[in-house]
Structure 1
Amino acid sequence: MTSALQQQAFALDARYNAHRAPESPNFRTLYIRRRSQLLRETQRDPEKWKQYLRVRSMLLQQRYGSSTVESTSSNSSSMSSIVTPRGHLVPTKQAEASRALVGGTSIAENYAFVGVHHIFDQHSEAVTMVKFANNDKSKICCASLDFTLSICDVTSEPPIVSAILRGHTKAVTGFDWSANNDLIVSSSLDGTCRVWKVSDFSCLRIVQDSNNSQFLCCMFQPINNNLFVTGNSRGELKIANVSTGRFMKNTCKIGGNVLCLASDNSGKIFWVGNDKGEIVSLFCELNGALCKTKKILLSPNCSITSLSYRAWISREARDPLLLVNATNNSFCLFSVLDGEGTLQLKKSFQNRQQKHIVRSTFCPIMSFRQGACVVTGSEDGSVYFVDVEKVGNRAVVNTLQGHASAVLGISFNYDESLLATSDLQGLVILWKKGNLI
């Protein structure tokens, strides 16, 4: 209980942080970091914490008026769900092996992130994407509109920024780790993709678009990390070779602005989302050629901002799913039906998202009792843990409040002990998992 009340106190201060020293963002960042530290160090019994919250809330309201971010109850009430006639996502009542991994605890207990581990503020503008290294608890990379990427070590005491990767001359829109974490590929509005060596933080390759198109997303080919896939502002999907630093001749025209990418584990099927509300499935040949197979229209007046693939929900029930965020105030789950990447809508949840690139992700272990959990950012400044087997307000099993602006990036480390979230003001918050006291 104490940890939960500490988190509420931090969230209360974070909601009002935009009002403090509006001309001095550095001071606001320093203030909220120090508040987080003090709250972690302060020891109070639950009743005193509740009294403190009431007094603190009253003082902040008297000083600043209503906060710009709504309360937890109002945020949660906006989270409703729409279920397709097909019914349950997975037969989770039979998921004995998955439950055994966590001792049969509930979804809410599994994802009780109760404290702030650290706050990074090395970026001066929005952090558009955060991602932990593959099967690694120590390294995380952040991409920002301030033209840079950063690599951080989150297990040192205290966590540190290991390097700032400089070279792009415009906003960095996305990046990806290679399978063994020795390389990072980044995309930028400057019309280049850069390949970085993690060992010495140097730039290994610069790949220029022949038409100077803006690159909006990128990812390594899962089974051949000598290739990476890019999406640009001309609606084109291209594949580049790391060794040569050149794009292959094959170009696949999607249309619109290609905003996000995902692939299955084999690297044979890719999904692409654009700003026309379309999700396009593609088959990747052995020689790297891309061939469009299927296309669905989620909504004609929205952008697809995030795609995330999961090959299984439980060890007992293989059910490939695609998690999708869109600017029509929703995020959706699609079932992958066949080897051509055909999608069928399973469930849709409402979310606060109308204009920003908000991302979501599956929980990596997917350990559950009566459901499966995903986590998403939101433009209301909250982070939502959603049990996709439930409906209505019961679907939200945890809500993290600490950001004072739209939450854009989401990433777990591989054992789910830390969750990283990034926002429009450039803050990256590391949340730690723990059991409520």
Structure 2
Amino acid sequence: MAAAADSASPECPGAPSMPTDPDFLSCVLQPPAPSSSRPDADYAALRRLLLRRKPPSALQHRMDWRCNGKGYVAYRNFLLRRIDGGSAQSTPSNSGRWAASPGPALSEADSWSSLRDLRTNSGLSRTVSISSKQSDAERHVRFAEPAYSFVGMHCIFDSCKTSVTILKFGRASSDLLAYGAADGSLTVCQVSEPPSVLQKLIGHSKNITDFDFSSNNQYIASCSLDKTVRVWEISKGTCIRVVYGVSSQLCICFHPVNNNLLLIGNSNKEINAINFSTGRVISKLNFDDAVTALDIDHTGQLIFAGDAQGYIYTVSVNSHTGSLSRTHKNKSSKSKSPITTIQYRTFSLVARCPVLLSCAQDGNLSFFSITTDAKGYLTLISSLKLASRVQTIRASFCPLLSLEKGEFIVTGSEDANVYFYDLARPKNSCVNKLQGHGSPVIGVAWNHGENLLASSDSEGTVIVWKRAKTN
């Protein structure tokens, strides 16, 4: 008891409590500025204290959020909800329509693994207490959320009468969606209140194979089997430039750093770097077969291209001059099936480095780590064999979902379902599926916040699915 009394600071009855914060004391002891218009010394001291103290960093906010039982996914969703102002209800408009409250036939049912995780988490929440001694594995299981759960359809676009071959959301956009069809049309929509078609871009005479948004979502560059590349101004709905080629143009992307540079792969076994302003070819690089898919890293220094024989090439690009040079050639699988999807991602918790996803037409999915200091050398981490496809079906990373529980991807299928797979699971990798299409699902795309997933099928229907809110 004596030790406890000694350790406590004595206080006189009736005496005011003195502040013990060293920052406050240092501010109080400083004399007021000579030019101060207020003679109140306490005011000057408090003002110095407030100016001296800095707000906590975003990292500290995230750590506090995690310690309070939330995950990084929940933190991101919380911020996005504050930015977007929450979801809105509306009525049908301009061929885009809100889906009704999802019933059992239209809504996506959680997979058995998701329900098992929920039961496990509810049990753990009653028996496991959060403390500083809790291991990372226990914390990961405790806070895992069924991030691949959906509540049903957000809206539907069904004005197209032919197969929708490719669809994408605008860059860093949760609202702007575009999709290209086999009849050569390119449709630009908004999915917020109310869902509607903004522009229908007509000019291509054959199947649209790929398109890409500029960094400010002001322009779209599209390529087609009609051997042309077209640049569109979205606000006016007009084609401002046409670049004619000698072969089918199969894939296209804007350079992320220099938006005046367009990179295009074609069936003439080459990648062309084109000046956006003039439409002239700056440089070209030849390959062993038709270049069917490509993507570029966030720095704009490396291009990853897939060809019709299943090979993946790493290409170095100069952001200023547009010059191209090949660095590596990698085999994605044992088959010689065309690559339908190449997608780069800046970081993965599984690989602890940049990663690449490739999808072949025969159903082979490959997941690579990228060695940046070796000019983009690829190392196969895992692969997944799905059913062979007749259609050119695409796949996509689920980067925000993968921060919680594994390495998720989403892909279409010829059985009219949208499937979610976890590449980190050697067995039972299918974790969920969405049912609602009536024909083979060809394209899939996430919006910026990953609260909406768009999928398209061979009959021209585009469905925007809404992810479940996590608490």
> TM-score when scaled to structure 1?
0.74
**Aligned equivalent of 1:345, options 376, 380, 383:** 380
* RMSD across aligned positions (CA): 2.9
The aligned residue for residue 106 of structure 1 is 144
From 420, 424, 447, the equivalent of 1:389 is: 424
The answer to whether 1:308 aligns with 2:343 is yes
Give the whole-Å Cα distance in 2 for the aligned partners of 1:371 and 1:39. Answer: 30
- Whether the 8 Å contact between 1:365 and 1:414 is mirrored in structure 2 is no
Unaligned residue ranges in structure 2 (runs of 5+): 1-95, 112-134
The answer to whether structure 1 residue 282 and structure 2 residue 315 are counterparts is yes
**Residue of structure 1 in register with 2:197 after alignment:** 161
Residue 175 of structure 2 is matched in structure 1 by: 138
Rounded to whole Å, the distance in 1 between the matches of 2:301 and 2:243 is: 23
The question of 1:199 aligning with 2:235 is answered yes
Counterpart mapping for 1:76-155 below 5 A: 105-106=143-144, 108=146, 110-155=147-192
Q: Say whether 1:176 aligns with 2:176.
A: no
SS of residue in 2 equivalent to 1:111: coil
Task: Assess, with a 3 A threshold, how the Cα gap between structure 1 residues 187 and 276 changes in structure 2: closer, same or farther.
Answer: same
Deviations 1:63-114 (A, max 9, x none): xxxxxxxxx99xxxxxxxxxxxxxxxxxxx96999x7xxx975353x12112
Task: Specify which structure has the bigger relative contact order, considering alpha-carbon pairs within 8 angstroms and separated by 6 or more residues.
Answer: 1
Match of 1:257 in 2: 290
Contact preservation (8 Å) 2:312, 2:331: yes
CA distance in structure 2 between the partners assigned to 1:319 and 1:373 by the alignment: 16
1:399 maps to amino acid: K
TM-superposed deviation, 1:353: 3.5
Structure 2 SS opposite 1:365? helix
Q: Distance in 2 between matches of 1:294 and 1:95?
A: 37
CA deviation vs aligned residue, 1:193-212 (integer Å, no higher than 9, x gap): 01111221211111111xx2
Aligned residues of 2:188 and 2:198 also touching (Cα < 8 A): yes
**Counterpart position of 1:84:** none
Give the corresponding residue for 1:65. Answer: none
Letter in 1 for 2:331: L
Question: Could you tell me how far 1:297 is from its partner in structure 2?
Answer: 2.2
Deviations 1:89-148 (A, max 9, x none): xxxx96999x7xxx975353x121120111111222111111111111111010111111
Matched, 1:413 2:447: yes
Q: C-alpha distance in 1, partners of 2:393/2:243?
A: 27
Do structure 1's residue 321 and structure 2's residue 386 form an aligned pair? no
Q: Which amino acid aligns with 1:281?
A: T
Shift of 1:300: 4.1
Shift of 1:37: 4.6
TM-score (norm 2): 0.69
Give the number of equivalent residue pairs: 348
Question: Amino acid of the residue matched to residue 271 of structure 1?
Answer: F
Decide which structure has the larger Cα Rg and report it.
2
Instruction: Tell me the CA shift for residue 173 of structure 1.
Output: 0.7
| Secondary structure of the structure 1 residue equivalent to 2:372 | coil
The residue that corresponds to 1:240 in the other structure is: 274
